Structure 1
Amino acid sequence: MSMTDVPPRPVLGTIAVVCRHHGGQDQVILVQRGKEPNAGWWGFPGGHVEMGETALQAAARELLEETGVAARPLEYLTNVDVISRDVSGQVKRQYLLTVVLCEHISGAPVPDDDAEQAEWIAISEIETRGLQLLDQVAEVARLAQARWRELNR
């Protein structure tokens, strides 16, 4: 079977959710995408898992590449299915994103790689700041916040 005969498959990706408590608020790092797909939209730093690396390793690598922030991956938090379709309903692309909860080690978020902006955002303000959010960003942030609080009791 040639490569052209191989049916398209979902792509494995990962996102890094870095939590911290600062200034009386729980915060996460979000980035505004600078390139397609989803240019202009806000979400968590992340990208493709490369051959030979775990999704935990990929989350830390992508975070560093996109924001300059170093973090230690703690655990898998959940998965997010992303399926985009064209106007006729045909699947254009499909991703399975592993969500990795990370502990901040060093660095302030500075946009790099394919990020247009990168910053700490209060979880309580994610939905009220007028950001164009990718699917499930607020829900994942709240899930990460709850788990982060459990781990830091």
Structure 2
Amino acid sequence: MTAPSPAPKLGAIAVVLYEARFLLVQRGKDPGRGLWGFPGGHVELGETGLQAAIRELAEETGVVATADRYLTNVDVIVHLDGAVAYQYLVAAVACTYVSGDPVAADDAADAQWVPIAEVLAGTRAMNDDVIRVAKLMLA
């Protein structure tokens, strides 16, 4: 893991549900290396969470979607040696699939369409809150 961040950061994830499958990526870098979750990343200066989710989705997977609405916020707090190493406030964005086949790029090690039942069963090593966010998308 790299040096701790001195301040909380903003992030966004794209929650894409298409043909009874969620689009998930396997993280290729810390924090969360090896874990599966929704594509996403940092919100850049001047960018909304909705815009960031769509940009990060395209960068990590090549998939194009439209941002529909905010689903929820996710607090990600990572501790290292008893201290906070990273803190993110992540906007979960409900997205509608437009086009593209997922191909891992940027900081994703893998990208796949994963059946709803598999996501809800938690059969893969996943980031915290993936199941909760998936349920919100399905509601």
- The one-letter amino acid paired with 1:14 is A
Q: Which range moved further: 66-75 or 79-88?
A: 79-88
What's the CA shift string for 1:19-50, capped at 9, x where partnerless?
12x2xxx2110000111221111000000000
> Who is 2:30 aligned against?
36
User: What's the CA shift for 1:130?
Assistant: 3.1
> Who is 1:15 aligned against?
13
User: What's the CA shift for 1:124?
Assistant: 1.1
2:81 and 2:119 map into 1 onto residues whose CA distance is 29
2:123 and 2:94 map into 1 onto residues whose CA distance is 25
Whether contact under 8 Å (2:120, 2:134) holds in the other structure is no
4+ long deviations beyond 6 Å: none
> Who is 1:108 aligned against?
101
1:144 and 1:122 map into 2 onto residues whose CA distance is 14
TM-score (ref. length: structure 2): 0.91
> Who is 1:92 aligned against?
85
2:38 and 2:122 map into 1 onto residues whose CA distance is 16
Q: CA RMSD of the aligned region, Å? A: 1.5
Counterpart mapping for 1:1-12 below 5 A: 8-12=6-10
1:145 and 1:110 map into 2 onto residues whose CA distance is 24
Gaps of at least 5 residues in structure 2 are none
- The one-letter amino acid paired with 1:68 is G
2:112 and 2:28 map into 1 onto residues whose CA distance is 14
Whether contact under 8 Å (2:35, 2:125) holds in the other structure is yes
Aligned residues: 135
